Structure 1
Amino acid sequence: MNGQRQAHCAVELAGESLWLLAHKAVYWPARRMMVVADIHFGKAAAFRALGVPVPRGTTTQNLQALDALLAAHACEEIVFLGDFLHARAAHAAATVAAMQAWRARHPRLRLTLVRGNHDVHAGDPASALRIRMVDEPHTVGALSFCHHPDTVAPGYVLAGHVHPVFHLRAAAGGLRLPCFLLGPSRAILPSFGAFTGGHAVRPGAGESVYVTADTAIFRIPP
């Protein structure tokens, strides 16, 4: 995979074939399941409520990004790895209305949310969204879905929380790009949200980095 630029990278984790997607999500073909971390609905609204002038439209961007995933892959369930809502401001009428309109377009899609630290403070999403709420670890087969990467779990952990980015150095400076960080017992997903920032990571022993850039994903050589 080194040097190849493609829309997804197939990896095997705990004996399961998963796709790391350029659009910052994981697809589990055998289960027709999409896995998304840290979408942080309502984060921009929360900043504006504090008087910070930030752009509008991030909820729409997030929903359009989800639609793009669903259009490209046969999907029966989305699992959100925590921090679905950023704060109580995410319960604002306009934000909730946009999410409910999106949900109405996908009535048969199962939605599962593994509660993260922001979800605890923001409260559960509106019941009309019909999201199944679970605590970490949420284990399906050989995989355990968590928010915090260090959660003790019976399966291979897929988690978020960190918002990992990788500093790709170049002669003209460098780029900070969202990335997947894969290790022997856990994988950390990049933040899916449109307004979430990132934390620079460096791979440790036995870890691999897969960087996403626009519509491409590629592995960083060891």
Structure 2
Amino acid sequence: MAGAVEIEAAGEMLTLLPQRALFWPARAMLVIADIHFGKAASFRAQGVPVPRGTTTENLDMLTTLAAATGATSILFLGDFLHARHAHAAATMAALHAWRERHSHLALTLVRGNHDSHAGDPPPSLAITVVDEPYRIGPLVFVHHPQLHPEGYVLAGHVHPVYRLAARGDALRLPCFLFGREGGMLPSFGAFTGGHPVTPAQHDRLFLAAPDMVIELTARGRGQA
């Protein structure tokens, strides 16, 4: 895909997408972290005025990425539903309509902390739900960043962003962060926010700009 970057981890080639997702070509698998369906609905249920349409935006992007990559499966790294209010009728109707149009996709959710409060997706969505760690070949998929003795870890949860600053101006961008034993994916969901991260000297940092993934070298991060 345009603007994507390929990296190697545990002997596997992985594709980092500007849309804040990862594609594993050998398995035809999209990996998505922290989509947080129903977060806006949860805020509105508590009387906080927030934008509408984030569920549709997320689902449309999943459709686009699945078609563009030829993915046959999607793996969600936790926080599929934001809270119990995410089970609102409108959110569930949108998810079911999307699922009917994409019944050929195998969907798997690695439970995250929000999933424990929101509850698993309804069985009618046909999503396989597993606990972390979830190992496939040399890769270990989790929600919470952690080390694992049997594979290279890919995690969500943090919603990593990196702050670029120059001449008094600053910009925060979602990012992928890869270390020697594991990596973190940016939050995929619209309206999810981000947490600034500080990479170690030998970590690889990839900014997810709107139309391309850009590796920011140690020199670009101000490190010798």
- Superposition TM-score, scaled by structure 1 size: 0.95
Matches within 5 A, 1:34-53: 34-53=30-49
1:40 positional shift: 0.2
| 1:147 to 2:149 alignment | no
Contact 2:140 2:148 (8 Å CA) reproduced: no
1:154 positional shift: 2.0
1:153 positional shift: 5.2
1:171 positional shift: 2.7
1:213 positional shift: 1.1
Residue 15 of structure 1 aligns to which amino acid in structure 2?
A: G
Matches within 5 A, 1:178-189: 178-189=174-185
Matched length: 217
Matches within 5 A, 1:52-131: 52-131=48-127
1:216 positional shift: 0.8
Q: Which runs of 5+ in 1 are unaligned?
A: 1-5
| 1:163 to 2:179 alignment | no
Residue 129 of structure 2 aligns to which amino acid in structure 1?
A: M
Distance 1:63 1:188 in 2: 22
Q: Which runs of 5+ in 2 are unaligned?
A: 219-224
Contact 1:12 1:18 (8 Å CA) reproduced: yes
- Aligned equivalent of 1:206: 202
- Equivalent position SS for 2:145: coil
Provide, for residues 9-62 of structure 1, a one-character-per-residue CA deviation record: whole Å limited to 9, x for no partner. Answer: 100000000001111011000100000000000000111111111011110011
| 1:196 to 2:192 alignment | yes
Contact 1:28 1:34 (8 Å CA) reproduced: yes
- Superposition TM-score, scaled by structure 2 size: 0.94
- Equivalent position SS for 1:7: coil
Contact 1:137 1:153 (8 Å CA) reproduced: no
Residue 162 of structure 1 aligns to which amino acid in structure 2?
A: V
How large is the RMSD of aligned CA atoms in angstroms? 1.0
1:118 positional shift: 0.1
| 1:31 to 2:27 alignment | yes
Contact 1:137 1:151 (8 Å CA) reproduced: no
Structure 1 moving runs of 4+ over 4 Å: none
1:70 positional shift: 1.1
Contact 2:179 2:202 (8 Å CA) reproduced: yes
Distance 2:113 2:202 in 1: 28
Residue 19 of structure 2 aligns to which amino acid in structure 1?
A: H
- Equivalent position SS for 2:65: helix
- Aligned equivalent of 1:3: none
Distance 1:72 1:170 in 2: 35
1:151 positional shift: 5.1
- Distance change (3 Å), C-alpha of 1:151 and 1:133: farther
